[in-house]
Structure 1
Amino acid sequence: MGTVVGTIFAVLIIVLLLWMILHTVIIINESQGEVGLKMRLGKYVETLSPGWHFVIPIIYSVIKVDTRQKPLNIKEQSLITRDNATVLATEQLKYHVTDAVEYELKNSNAEQSMIQDVQSSLRSIIGGMKLNDVLEGSGKINERLANDLNDTTARYGTQVDNIAISGLKPDPEIEKAMNQQAAAERQREAAIMKSQGEKQAAQNQADGKAYSLRKTADAEAYTTRQNADAKAYQKIQEAKATAEANNTVINAFANNGFTNDNYISLKQIQAYRDIANSSANTVVVPQKEVNTATKTAEAIKIAKTDNTFFEHLKNSITQNNQNDNSSNNK
């Protein structure tokens, strides 16, 4: 019996020694970013740096605090914009402990306090913005949110390293309406593009027709000018030929002792002869031309019976032309 009691007592002594050793030697691990808060009967005494530390068990205790950066996920939150639209937001926060005493001893739950501050700040920011600005301005929202949290989280002994809105989307009903609106906008833009394309095609076709008409008109105008120039040239040449012929006849008359008045009379006789040779049976002559009409009648009679006068005149003109050519050759 005594042996059993002795054994139990020995075991208890060993356990007590081990417990005392474990609670006497405290290792603060620097690689794990730890700092130690030394407590005496529940009251803070000092902060222990990384390394080995010896404390008296029961009287002293050490609280280890991890100062490494840690993530903090915040559950999805429903928010109302300034234009009364509902959006859903999910945030992700990264922070680290800067003051172990503030973090561990002066706050019962620093993480939960930060979550509440993030949600409150985000609610205030989103509530002052319109839906379109919210959906397009996540970067600005993150920046404003980080500035707000740096001021409020300092009292928790923490510092926010990064905060990002990992999910920001409108309420499903609003998203459906936005998708319908976007589809309608795309259809409207497509209709506008089609209309502009048709308008441009019609304009190009009209320009092509106008260009063709202008070219056709230019060609016709050019042809008309060419024809007019040709006719004018022909008339000029005919007038020159007539003038030369008249000069030849006048010279022939002069060489045979006739005057210009005789030439004019001859031309009248020729005209009357042409009338006589025509199919007309009646000729209307003014009163003052009675003498001329008499000559006309004689000319008609002569023209219809004898052409020797004109043959003689023709021979005289031919002879004069030959004489002129001989003089020019000499």
Structure 2
Amino acid sequence: MEVALVLLIVAAIFVVRAIKVVPQQSAWVVERLGKYSTTLKPGLNVLVPFVDKVAYEHSLKEIPLDVPSQVCITKDNTQLHVDGILYFQVTDPMRASYGASNYIVAITQLAQTTLRSIVGRMELDKTFEERDAINTSVVAALDEAALNWGVKVLRYEIKDLTPPAEILRSMQQQITAERDKRARIAESEGRKLEQINLATGERASFIARSEGEKQAEINRAEGQAAAITAVADATAAAIAKIAAAIQQPGGQDAVNLKVAEKAVEAYAQLAQKNNTMIVPGNMSEVSALIGTAMTLLRQSPQPPQSPHSTPAGNTR
């Protein structure tokens, strides 16, 4: 009974040491008598008990690795605190086991030294502008060196770039000055556009006013020309009618009578409107004029009357 129990225990030990179940996305390195033998793949694997031994277990997943913060000196001698994060993956479990004593420490140290070298070739302002270029350069340098360690560096990301407090204040002042400059430029551009728009509007308004005044002057000139033409036509028609009337029998006598009437009316108005009595220098001219008018009245009992004439009796 005791022998059977011992044999059962020994068999259980053999089974435990012989059967290995490897998880997914994992790789186990097996040594046989202290020498590399094989790499176990995910699933059920059988080993030789007490001869084969699982020496290393590696995860084939992508692993994030925090790179500690460090002080880097830029090309313009400015201290800069830089920290980042590195993503890598084990691609060759055998090399990862025997290529370096600790590939994680090796990658971390290489990332720091590479980052210091890259930042040292840049000025402070460029380090903020060229973060993608820095990340790419670090990945390229690490990937080449980590090839012998069975590790693939996938990407590197800078988490923070922190310059000294004095530099931060100077940068803030520079940013404030730049923003003020852009604001002033934008304001001046706005005033410039405003002046241009006002000048354009005034020019258009002046042109419109001048065009309107020009058209108004043309219209007035055309109206005056039409009025003068109408007056001239009416005057010509009136003169023609008067001339035709004069040619009629008794027309000349009617004209003489009208002239005499007007003369008498003129003398009468001068005597009424002025305190000083104005008389002709030769009174015989007035008598002759009146006599002529009376003779014409006697010779022509019904002289032609104009719309503006007055009866002969009122002129005396």
Query: Do both share a fold (TM > 0.5)?
Result: yes
Question: Which residue does the alignment assign to 2:48?
Answer: 54
SS for the counterpart of 1:96 is: strand
Match of 2:56? 64
> Given residue 244 of structure 2, which amino acid in structure 1 is its aligned partner?
N
Aligned residues: 272
**What do the CA deviations read for 1:149-194 (whole angstroms, capped 9, x no partner)?**
2211111221113322222344443333222222222222222333
Matched, 1:122 2:140: no
Alpha-carbon distance change, 22 to 250 in structure 1, aligned in 2, over 3 angstroms: same
Alignment of 1:139 with 2:154, yes or no, is: no
What secondary structure, in the 3-state scheme, does the structure 1 residue paired with 2:47 have? strand
Tell me the residue number matched to 1:36.
Answer: 29
Letter of the 2:55 partner, please give it.
I
Does residue 243 of structure 1 match 2:236?
A: yes
Following the alignment from structure 1 to structure 2, what is the Cα–Cα distance between the partners of residues 104 and 74? 22
Unaligned runs of 5+ in 2: 1-5, 271-281, 307-316
d(CA) in 2 for partners of 1:215, 1:303: 67
* Amino acid in structure 2 at the alignment position of 1:143: T
- Structure 1 pair 44–240 and aligned structure 2 pair: CA distance change class (3 A): same
SS of 1:112's equivalent? helix
Q: Which amino acid aligns with 1:116?
A: Q
Q: Of 200, 219, 226, which residue of structure 1 is paired with 2:219?
A: 226
Q: Are the structure 2 counterparts of residues 62 and 238 from structure 1 closer, same or farther at C-alpha, using a change threshold of 3 Å?
A: closer
Q: Distance in 1 between matches of 2:292 and 2:173?
A: 107
2:100 aligned residue (93, 101, 107): 107
Work out whether residues 273 and 299 of structure 1, in 8 Å CA contact, stay in contact via their aligned partners in 2. Answer: no
TM-superposed CA distance for 1:209, in Å, is 4.7
> Per-residue CA shift, 1:85-126, capped at 9, x if unaligned?
443322211223233343333422222221222123223333
Separation (CA, whole Å) in 1 of partners of 2:69 and 2:119? 14
More helix by share: 1
Q: The residue matched to 2:24 in structure 1 has which SS?
A: coil
Whether 1:77 and 2:70 are equivalent positions in the alignment is yes
Over 3 Å counting, the alpha-carbon distance change for 1:45 and 1:244 in structure 2 is closer
Distance 1:212 1:147 in 2: 68
> 1:220 deviation in Å?
4.2
Distance 1:208 1:258 in 2: 69
- State the one-letter code of the partner of 1:66: H
Q: Is the 8 A contact 1:38 1:45 kept in 2?
A: yes
When the two chains are superposed, the root-mean-square deviation of aligned CA atoms in Å is 4.4
Return closer, same or farther for 1:228/1:169 CA change in 2, 3 Å cut-off: same
Compared CA separation, residues 209 and 105, structure 1 to 2 (3 A)? closer
Letter of the 2:233 partner, please give it: K
Bigger mean CA deviation after superposition, 220-229 or 152-161: 220-229
Given candidates 76, 83, 87, the residue that maps to 1:94 is 87
1:54 alignment partner AA: V
Give the TM-score taking structure 2 as reference length.
0.65
CA distance in 2, matches of 1:65, 1:188: 61
Q: Could you say if the C-alpha distance between residues 106 and 237 of structure 1 is closer, same or farther in structure 2, counting changes exceeding 3 Å?
A: closer
Please report how far the alpha carbon of residue 48 of structure 1 lies from its aligned counterpart in structure 2 after TM superposition.
4.2
Contact 1:33 1:68 in 2 (8 A): yes
Q: 1:299 to 1:126 in 2, by over 3 A?
A: farther
Tell me what 1:160 maps to.
153
> C-alpha distance in 2, partners of 1:300/1:183?
107
Pairing partner for 1:196 from 189, 193, 200: 189
Distance 2:233 2:284 in 1: 28
Cα distance in 2 between the residues matched to 1:316 and 1:203: 76
Distance, in Å, in 2 between the alignment partners of 1:92 and 1:105 is: 25
Q: CA deviation at 1:33?
A: 1.0
